[in-house]
Amino acid sequence: MSNTVIVIDDSIFLIKQIVDFFEKQLNFQVVATGNDGNDAVELYKKYKPDLITLDITMPNKDGIEALREILSTDPDAKVLMISAVRGSAMLECMDEGAKGYVEKPLKFNDSEFVKDFKESIKDIFCN
Amino acid sequence: MSLGKRLFVCPDRKAFCMSCTKNLLLPELNSVFSKTAVRCVNDFLGKPAAIHENWCVVDRLVTHYDYILTMGGASQNFQSILAIGVSKDFSEIFGVMDKSEFVDILGEFANTYWALLMDDHVFTKHFGILNQSIPVVYSNGTPFLPFISGVQGKVYIENEFIFLGYAIQKVINCSL
> How many domains does chain B contain in total?
1
Using the Cβ of B140 and the Cβ atoms of chain A, whether some distance falls under 8 Å is answered with no
Taking each helix axis as running N to C, give the angle between helix A89-96 and helix A63-73, from 0 to 180 degrees, rounded to the nearest 10: 10
ipTM: 0.83
Residue that wins the pLDDT comparison between A66 and B101: A66
Taking CB atoms and an 8 Å cutoff, what residues of chain B touch A89? 131
Collapsing DSSP states into helix, strand and coil, what is residue B8? coil
Range of the domain at B95: 20-170
For the stretch B25-57, pLDDT in tens is 788 888 999 999 999 999 888 889 999 999 999
Rounded-to-integer distance, Cα B122 and Cα B146, Å: 25
Rounded-to-integer distance, Cα A117 and Cα B139, Å: 36
Bridge partners for B132 per DSSP: B73
Residues 11-30 of A with CB under 8 A from B: 11-14
Q: What is the pLDDT of residue B27?
A: 83
Residues 50-69 of A with CB under 8 A from B: 57-59
- The answer as to whether B1 is a domain residue is no
- The answer as to whether B11 is a domain residue is no
Mean pLDDT per 10-residue run, chain A (127 residues)? 94 95 96 98 98 95 97 97 90 94 91 93 89
- The answer as to whether B44 is a domain residue is yes
What is the pLDDT confidence band of residue B18, given thresholds at 50, 70 and 90?
A: very low
Residues 73-112 of B with CB under 8 A from A: 100-101, 104-105, 107-108, 111-112
Smallest CA–CA separation between A98 and chain B, in Å? 19
Interface A-B: count of C-beta contacts within 8 A: 51
Q: What percent of chain B has pLDDT over 70?
A: 81
Task: For residue B111, give the H/E element and its range.
Answer: helix B99-118
Range of the domain at A104: 4-126
CATH number at residue A81: 3.40.50.2300
CATH number at residue B71: 3.40.1550.10
> How many domains does chain A contain in total?
1
